[in-house]
Each structure stands twice: as C-alpha cells, then as structure tokens.
C-alpha cells in the first residue's frame, strides 16, 4: 500500500523497538523517512537495516537539539507531513530511590523534548499534517515503581489534547498511542537480573487478558493509521494498544 506516498516523516528514537518498526512501516507505505537516535553506532545499524533513511544524532531531552533537528529537516525537505514522537526513557524506581536528577531527566526526554520539538517544527508542518505521540498505559495504572514514568506519560497524553486544540486550525492533527507491555529492548535497560526480568515478564503476561506481550509491528501499524488520511477525522485521541490490560 502507499498510504504515505509523497509524505515526509520524522521518527524520534527510531533505532530500535517501536521506533524502528514504525520507520520500516512508513517506508513500506511510501514515505520519505528520517530517524533520530542518541548513538551513532545504532543509527548506522538502523540505516543499514532500513535502507534509504536520513539519520539524525540527537538528545531527545535537549531543547537546543530539537531546534537543530528542525533545521536539518528544513534544509533537507522544506516541510514535514508526519511526526512520530517515540523517543523516551523508562526509569522505574520506588519513591524513596528518586532524586532530582533522575526526575529531571525523565521529564526532559518524555515531556520537555517533545514539546519543544513540535514548537521547532511548527513552521515546517504541511497542511494537513499528523503528529503521533507515544504514550503508555502506565499513565492509567497505579503500578508500583512507575511514579515518575507514569506521570511523564500522563503529561504527554495531555499534550495530545492541548496541542490538538491549538494546532487544528493549522491543519495539524495530534493523537497518541498508548502501548501496554511490548517486546522491545527497553526491558533490558532496567538493570534487572535475568531471573528478576523473567519474573517481571511472567507477572505482566498474567495481567494481560490477551496472554502475551505486544509486538512493535502492532504498534507501528496503529501509528501508520494515525499518520495517514484514514484517520483524518481523528483528533486529540488516545489509542490504547495493550491486549486488554487496562480495560478488562
């Protein structure tokens, strides 16, 4: 299919997991794609895997870096049709283990960076254009150790609504996908032992009515829908993709 033919699309955090899968689907749907990442090595690997993509080295939590991304998009394409804000950090700690630096880093990457990236890209968005933010069902659940991560994702979900109200007159739709547990490399970054990681996965699977983790490609398919004209009447909405975990 060519649902994104002749579209220019940017995926932040596009070197692995949901971001990489979405960049792949965007390409399959005919888009011209750029991805961001914090590792030159991972960007090179993603470029080799995906083929014809533009790669941008960027820190998702750095405000000046967001302006630099927008400048690169301006120079390369002159406009942007689709933005998928996927870059994020998942830092899980009990309340007593949090410090200011960790809190600030989570909110810088998960909230501040996305806000200022949209601001920097604002003059470049086509009319119509679509922004999709990557939220999380953690914003809806009271899971222990997720206090700061959940709060940051709740803020991002709120941004989908408030940005929609502000940008719809410019022809820019903003929506959010909120995945449940998905098989991505993020779980390997939590610092857990193999046995603790296995135990956590077993616990989560037991809480998912569908009986399994989601796949990155399943989230990517939803992002393609929200990025395309198929969803042109969908504005400020949250699409929950969690195997029934938060609803059943």
pLDDT tens for residues 218-244?
999 999 999 999 999 999 999 999 999
Q: Decide: 179 and 242 in contact? Cβ < 8 Å.
A: yes
Q: Decide: 39 and 240 in contact? Cβ < 8 Å.
A: no
pLDDT of 18 reads 97
pLDDT of 201 reads 79
Question: Residue 183: which pLDDT band, with cuts at 50, 70 and 90?
Answer: confident
Query: How does the average pLDDT of the chain come out, rounded?
Result: 94
3-class secondary-structure state, position 30: coil
pLDDT of 158 reads 97
pLDDT of 106 reads 98
CATH code at 8-241: 3.40.50.720
Q: What is the mean pLDDT of residues 135-155?
A: 96
pLDDT of 202 reads 81
**Residue ranges per structural domain of the chain:** 8-241
Q: Tokens for 122?
A: 């604002």
* Residue where the block lists tokens 């610092």: 191
Separation CA 221–CA 184 (nearest Å)? 16
Active-site entry in 149, 187, 203, 233: 149
Question: Residue 163: which pLDDT band, with cuts at 50, 70 and 90?
Answer: very high
Q: What is the mean pLDDT of residues 179-200?
A: 67
String of DSSP letters for 156-178: HHHHHHHHHHHHGGGTEEEEEEE
Question: At residue 131, does pLDDT exceed 90?
Answer: yes
Q: Bigger pLDDT: 106 or 204? A: 106
- Edge-to-edge order in the sheet of strand 32-37: 53-57, 32-37, 8-11, 80-85, 125-134, 172-179, 238-241
Q: What's the pLDDT tens digit per position in 39-81?
A: 999 999 999 999 999 999 999 999 999 999 999 999 999 999 9
Question: Residue 193: which pLDDT band, with cuts at 50, 70 and 90?
Answer: low
pLDDT of 245 reads 94
* Residue where the block lists tokens 């009986």: 211
Residue 136: name the closest of 116, 106, 162 by CA.
106
Q: Decide: 92 and 140 in contact? Cβ < 8 Å.
A: no
* Residue 149 annotated to the active site: yes
pLDDT of 191 reads 55
Peptide bond into 128 cis (omega under 30): yes
Q: What's the pLDDT tens digit per position in 17-37?
A: 999 999 999 999 999 999 999
Residue 237: what are its φ and ψ, rounded to 5°? -100, 155
Q: What's the pLDDT tens digit per position in 87-125?
A: 999 999 999 999 999 999 999 999 999 999 999 999 999
Residue 13: name the closest of 145, 164, 134, 180 by CA.
134
CA distances from 129 to 32, 86, 138, 169, 217 (A): 14, 17, 28, 11, 22
Q: Decide: 242 and 208 in contact? Cβ < 8 Å.
A: yes
Question: At residue 189, does pLDDT exceed 70?
Answer: no
Question: At residue 179, does pLDDT exceed 90?
Answer: yes
Separation CA 246–CA 117 (nearest Å)? 30
Q: Which of 127-136, 183-192, 207-216 has the lowest mean pLDDT?
A: 183-192
pLDDT of 120 reads 98
């Amino acid at each position: 299919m060519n649902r994104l033919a002749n579209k220019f699309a940017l995926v932040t955090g596009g070197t692995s997991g949901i971001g990489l899968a979405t960049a792949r689907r965007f390409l399959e749907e005919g888009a011209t794609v750029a991805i961001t990442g914090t590792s030159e090595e991972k960007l090179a690997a993603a470029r080799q895997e995906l083929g014809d993509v533009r790669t941008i080295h960027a820190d998702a939590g750095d405000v000046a870096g967001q302006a630099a991304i927008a400048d690169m998009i301006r120079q390369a394409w002159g406009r942007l049709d689709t933005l998928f804000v996927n870059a994020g950090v998942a830092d899980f700690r009990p309340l007593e283990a949090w410090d200011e630096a960790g809190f600030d880093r989570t909110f810088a990457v998960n909230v501040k960076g996305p806000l200022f990236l949209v601001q920097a890209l604002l003059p470049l968005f086509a009319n119509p254009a679509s922004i999709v933010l990557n939220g999380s069902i953690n914003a809806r659940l009271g899971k222990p150790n997720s206090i700061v991560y959940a709060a940051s994702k709740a803020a991002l979900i709120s941004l989908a609504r408030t940005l929609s109200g502000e940008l719809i007159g410019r022809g820019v739709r903003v929506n959010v996908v909120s995945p449940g547990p998905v098989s991505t490399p993020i779980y390997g970054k939590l610092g857990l032992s193999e046995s603790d990681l296995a135990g956590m996965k077993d616990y989560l699977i037991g809480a998912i009515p569908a009986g399994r983790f989601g796949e990155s490609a399943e989230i990517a398919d939803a992002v393609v829908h929200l990025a395309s004209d198929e969803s042109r009447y969908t504005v400020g909405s949250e699409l929950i993709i969690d195997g029934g975990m938060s609803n059943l």
